[in-house]
Homo-oligomer: A and B are copies of this chain.
Amino acid sequence: MLSRIDHIGIACHDLDATVEFYQRTYGFTDAHFEVNEEQGVRECMLKINTTGDGAASYIQLITPIRDDSTVAKWLEKNGEGVHHIAFGTDGTDVQEEADGIAGKGVRVLYEQPRRGSMDSRITFLHPKDCHGVLTELVQKAE
């Protein structure tokens, strides 16, 4: 089952400046940086709180590293802002969750889960099937 808000994905132009803003303004100091070559982004996971399912909720700040990445195109169209939201599984397989949701008529964007932040397994749901919200499903690493 889906048991938490895993993260809110926010696209920005300058990752370091945006991380610094969140740390200085709100005091969210627990930061994990990585590059996801497949997604074409550099990102920072800022841990906000722990969750009742034994995991945590994050703000995920993402910036494109290539002009042809989907986030680069999104930023060009929309400017900085919330790019997607993500729900986490309670340990259940993310593909199982996606299959169950696909069975309810929602398009799943990946045929197979891909690698997300901190070695999670992720997939996305089509925003047009989710009332305008690009929605990610996350199974965190063991």
Which A residues form the contact surface with B (CB < 8 A)?
1-5, 8, 10, 12, 18, 21, 24-28, 48-53, 57, 59, 79-82, 85, 87, 101, 104, 106, 127, 130-133
Contact = CB atoms under 8 A, between A and B. Distances in A.
Contacts of A106: 25
A10 B85 CA distance: 11
30 contacts: A1-B27, A2-B26, A3-B48, A4-B49, A5-B8, A5-B49, A8-B8, A8-B85, A10-B132, A10-B133, A12-B131, A21-B130, A21-B131, A25-B101, A25-B104, A25-B106, A25-B130, A26-B87, A26-B101, A49-B51, A50-B51, A50-B52, A51-B51, A80-B131, A80-B133, A81-B131, A81-B132, A81-B133, A82-B82, A82-B85
Interface of A is mostly: mixed
Contacts of A8: 5, 8, 82, 85
A87 B106 CA distance: 29
For the complex of A and B, 8 pairs with smallest distance between CB atoms = A80-B132, A50-B52, A81-B132, A4-B49, A82-B82, A49-B51, A80-B131, A5-B57
